[in-house]
Structure 1
Amino acid sequence: MYQRVLAGDSLYRIRKDWNERGILTTHGCAWSDRTLKMVLYTPSNKGVREYRPVMPDGSRAKTSKMQVKAAWPALVDEDTWQQVSDVLDARKKARNFHQPGSGAAVRMYPFSGLIRCSLCGTSMIHRGGVYQCLQPTPGGCTRSIRSAEIERLVEEAVLATFKQITLHPTKHRTSGSDLAARIGLVATLDQDRERLGRLDDDYYDGLIDKAMWVRQRARIAERIEATRRQHAARMSEQHAGLNIDMTTVAAEWEGRTTMWQYQAASLILQAVLVHAHPADMMTAVPKRRNESTEDFHVRRDAHRAAVLARRVEFIWRA
């Protein structure tokens, strides 16, 4: 895992790979970015035992007050551990360097912006393994729902709807010149984002100083934002995905990009509303005595499906 981080793999990629291969945590749970980060930062992996005393208020000290050599063998040498910690710290600073809307690349999901909180109407944000409502107001809504479950439900509903659609193949297409211009803008965006990545690498490798990094990064980010505005201006007033043939979406879905899937879904889906957990249903299913793990998982999955059916509401386009 340490070598993969040093090789450039993101925590998202490692977590996705492990979960798909069935590699679970010691508690038998799926991995999350937060869990991976905690494991990577753990000093015990480099053969060090740390002491964090209990503070007067009952909380544990956030920083180590004492470190001693552990009795167990180190899983990774100290230099590698420190290099990985520096990489993770640098990635965090890079993510926090730009405020939203500054042109920084953001990971997108097929239904980003479509999944909304039914209480406040805010688009729910994908964080870790959940979609969460983060309304920035005092006492704001913090409703959440498991991302894997709702994404699977929405995808099944969208594909089932597309399979029933029979429209003329030439309908819903844009002109060739407009499409070519948009493709050119997308290519420009990709090139600038690659430049942004190379610039970050040069800074982390010590090839340029911070002042030059900040100046060039701001210039590239400004150019990215300008290109994005041009791209948005060229999109059709009715919808951004009108060049998609709706009769072939179901067949093309699997091999398409996330942006294409989002545009295709938005053609027929206006919003997916997430309601509160039903008051008459348990939030968690306890395991029964003498119940096998397989039977428990079947009963738990059935309960989750029933809850999901009551929590999720589809708002389709006319």
Structure 2
Amino acid sequence: MTQKTTTTTLPAGIYVRISLDKHDGAGVERQEEMCRKLAAEHGLEVSRVYSDNSISAYSGKTRPGFIDLVADVKARKIGAVLSFAPDRISRNVSEYEPFKATLKNTHCRLIYVNGGEQALDDPNADLISTMLSSVSQWESAIKSARVAAAKAQHRRRGDYPTKPIRLFGYTHSGEPHPTEAPLVRDAATRILAGESLNRIAREWEDKGVTTTLGNRPTAQNIRKSMLSPTTGGFTHYELKKKDYSPAEWEKLSAWDKLGIIGRGNWEPVLDPEVWQALWAHLTNPARKTNLVGSAPRHLLSGIALCGHCGAPMYCRNKWYKKKTETAPKRVYYCKERGGGHPTRIAEPLENYITNLVLARLSASDIVDELAAGVDTDRRAELTTTRDMVRGRMADLEQQATLGNVGMDQFGRMNKALTDQLEAIDAELVELAGAGGVLSEVAGVADVRAWWVTATLELKRELIRALMTITIEGTPPVQYKFNPEYVTVDWKV
């Protein structure tokens, strides 16, 4: 009796990809449908579909689906790759050739809906597939250059930069969004007055506000949309790090990397002057942010200073192991190691500082001093100087374009003007930030009522603007809070 032999065939994998899908995945779904019909015609079972939706095969961006496909081919989990056409797999010869080599080494079949099965061991067929890949790469390069030229023309004309993902605050056509634009303007005012992005994000989420993709608002996505030059009415192109050497990239300022060309011809959501002050504020390296992404929850956290080493003090819970103690107490402490750093129970310290602030705000002379603290003359002077610097930068660029200024000289002069512009923006931010909360309090009739309703961020910014707090060390036996060991230096 002759024993019947059974041959086992590995299942097939389908790879689908489209560079830009404007129909919610319909493009890759159609490709998958045609590939499944192809699998049925060849008697193949499909075990997995590998998808890269809205990802270019020419740009060099990471394609998770393609990476998984190659890994499964190498692991011999699939015995055939089905795709719509060669340009779905790759539009880059340097990527396509190693992929074919992997298929050869694992004896994996490659079958296209539009192109049939590829004879990987046939030199003639191999040459043709390589040539087709080269043509696809050339077509992508031509298209990329054409699109880049069109975008550059739109930027020079000052047209609104339309993109697949709508920018928060604008409609698709580039007009201020009726409900989102007022939110952006209000947020800008509050941020310059000292409020945090985290608090604004929480408030927006409570109101049911979502991003343009329908996601919950976060400090990160709010910051990103507000930092876009488009929000301030500027046409720009963003410089790409890959186009520069590391040394050249380091020489560029954060402002240079925005690639701002000039004012656009659309109505900005934020006044350009406000946006520039906001941009300088949010990108200021000296601006302290919470590394874990949560806003400060304690009045003096990061504000009170250690009298032993000068470092900021923070808040935590601590058990004192007393018989009457049923819960830990909040305490301010210094994170620096070693002995001698003071610790204070939070509640009496916060009450003491609060009373000092309210007493100072209730003084008869404080309103005039706070109002005087908002230096409108200096702000006007800085704004005028900033316009003059920008004018000099524009003239310098024009002279360089005409060839009247060498590139080395242009680089040095432009760097000096850029540094001057950044210094002006930094001072404007300082005036806008401190002046915002002080000017708000200056117009309040009942400061105690204002304090009760004010946000924690505003209270903290007011304390920063009014005083410097240093917590001194105490004698070994100190059972009650003693204000003598708290040094307050008034700024106003």
Per the TM superposition, whether the score is higher than 0.5 is no
The TM-score normalised by the length of structure 2 is 0.25
**Higher RCO, Cα 8 Å, sep 6+:** 1
Larger radius of gyration: 2
TM-score under structure 1 normalisation?
A: 0.37
